[in-house]
Amino acid sequence: MSDLLLGRVLSFTADPFEAGEGAARLDEAVVLEAGRIVAVGGAEALRRAHPGARVTDYGACVISAGFVDAHVHYPQTAIIASWGKRLIDWLNSYTFPEEMRFADPAYAEAVAARYLDLTRAHGTTSVCSYATIHPASVEALMAEAQARGQRIWTGKTCMDRNAPEGLRDTAQSAYDDSAALLAKWHGVGRLSYVITPRFSPTSTPAQLEAMGALWAANPSCLMQTHLSEQVDEIAWVKGLFPQARDYLDTYEAFGLLGKGGLYGHAIHLEPREKDRLREVDGSLIHCPTSNTFIGSGLFDMGGLKAAGHRIGLATDTGGGSSFSMLRTMAAAYEVGQLRGRPLHPAELWWLATQGSARSLHADHLIGNIAPGMEADLVVVDLASTPAIAQASARAETLWQALFPTIMMGDDRAIRAVWIGGTPG
């Protein structure tokens, strides 16, 4: 049976960084069937074309593609909003002790369920997540997402140095565990495996080489890691890899630079790094709440987009201070202001949906509303609080109405979420 949803249906026909706010399209209704979008258009025409469809009327709410979070650490759910550390201290004080707990499969399962509950409440329908070194941490998130019918990406985090003993693997065990998990989960339903060396400081050259070999043998997989997040991190990398030309070279030398590579943060890039990332069409993932919360720096969205880079948007839970992609859009706007290039609401919304899907090479599946796309949707109330309602009531355009929700909205703005054509 099909579902007919009525509301203000927002979709994109182009990248608004290139085409401006005219890149968006507004319709009155969308039809879902068997987990897919089958039609978008005028309400009366779709009622006539689908007389047996169940009708859900969302009134003045905006119906959008569900939010896509391109870089998260679901094992850091419990330590989100921990006080006052920079990157290396954050890892040692908060992250590593918490990740040790994921040796217990029951703990991993509980956090995986809680994380997906929290993100769905904020309108996020797909995530790309790091796990921990424990295979059980991957199993937990994969199984929970499979039960919910979600499209997600995740992978075992690989670390064989500069981490506590209980969080270190080896080059060989990292390869073997990753290969086994990949074989079990990659391409099963809506699940994808991501090859995941945490970052150069926590992997020996031997492990980075092993991960490069695994990626070469499985090119349909994405590969995720971190790049140039903080200046003291970059100095650490230079000390660990004195022969490298720059931070990116510590990946490039071991086969970990390429299309399908997801490079989180990418704030303090050198000219050669920018050129190489653009040449190979690697994805840069902007994590604005994390970058400000732990004092990393200001991502150059305007300059990097103008240069033709593929860019996604992410909460970076739990270094990021919110599970909400609305809050993440707001932070991206604020960072843009500080860089002298404020982002238009159309650009922000595109980044949180189609842009992030594009960074994951999945924009043919998710991140937009169009016939044939998977039916992952979020329904957004543009009057969810008195402050937002009074601001949006003054609006003369959709973008003016949407912007107060971007800047002040939270889970109260999420009227409904559909995943795979199923409401919840």
**Can you tell me the distance from the alpha carbon of 141 to that of 403, in angstroms, rounded to the nearest whole number?**
33
Contact 98, 115 (CB under 8 A): no
**Dihedrals phi, psi of 117, to nearest 5 degrees:** -65, -45
Task: Determine whether domain 3-65+368-423 maps to CATH 2.30.40.10.
Answer: yes
**Can you tell me the distance from the alpha carbon of 80 to that of 402, in angstroms, rounded to the nearest whole number?**
27
**Dihedrals phi, psi of 79, to nearest 5 degrees:** -105, 10
**Quick count: other Cβ atoms within 10 Å of Cβ 85?**
17
pTM over 0.75? The answer is: yes
Tell me the sheet residues that pair with 414: 380
**Predicted local distance difference test score (pLDDT) of residue 66:** 98
CA of 233: how far to CAs of 90, 95, 200, 237, 419, in Å? Answer: 12, 16, 10, 6, 38
**Predicted local distance difference test score (pLDDT) of residue 424:** 86
Q: Strand 67-73 to strand 124-130: parallel, antiparallel, or no bridges (unpaired)?
A: parallel
**Predicted local distance difference test score (pLDDT) of residue 173:** 98
Tell me the sheet residues that pair with 222: 194
**Predicted local distance difference test score (pLDDT) of residue 225:** 98
Q: Strand 124-130 to strand 54-65: parallel, antiparallel, or no bridges (unpaired)?
A: unpaired
CATH architecture, range 67-359:
Alpha-Beta Barrel (3.20)
Cα 278 from chain centre: 20
**Predicted local distance difference test score (pLDDT) of residue 83:** 86
Of the candidates 197, 168, 174, 186, the one whose C-alpha atom is nearest the C-alpha of residue 255 is: 197
Contact 69, 128 (CB under 8 A): yes
234: its two tokens = 């970059």
Q: Is it true that the peptide bond before 42 is cis, omega within 30 degrees of 0?
A: no
- Residues of the chain within CATH 3.20.20.140 domain(s) are 67-359
Amino acid at 41: G
Q: Strand 24-33 to strand 36-41: parallel, antiparallel, or no bridges (unpaired)?
A: antiparallel
318: its two tokens = 């739990």
**Predicted local distance difference test score (pLDDT) of residue 251:** 98
Of the candidates 370, 357, 273, the one whose C-alpha atom is nearest the C-alpha of residue 313 is: 357
Give the pLDDT of the chain (424 residues) as one tens digit per residue: 899 999 999 999 999 999 998 999 999 999 999 999 999 999 999 999 999 999 999 999 999 999 999 999 999 999 998 887 777 787 888 899 999 999 999 999 999 999 999 999 999 999 999 999 999 999 999 999 999 999 999 999 999 999 999 999 999 999 999 999 999 999 999 999 999 999 999 999 999 999 999 999 999 999 999 999 999 999 999 999 999 999 999 999 999 999 999 999 999 999 999 999 999 999 999 999 999 998 999 999 999 999 999 999 999 999 889 999 999 999 999 999 999 999 999 999 999 999 999 999 999 999 999 999 999 999 999 999 999 999 999 999 999 999 999 999 999 999 999 999 999 8
**What is the helix, strand, coil percentage profile of the chain, to 5?**
45, 25, 30
What is the Cβ-side half-sphere exposure of residue 233, based on CA atoms within 13 angstroms? 26
- Residues of the chain within CATH 2.30.40.10 domain(s) are 3-65+368-423
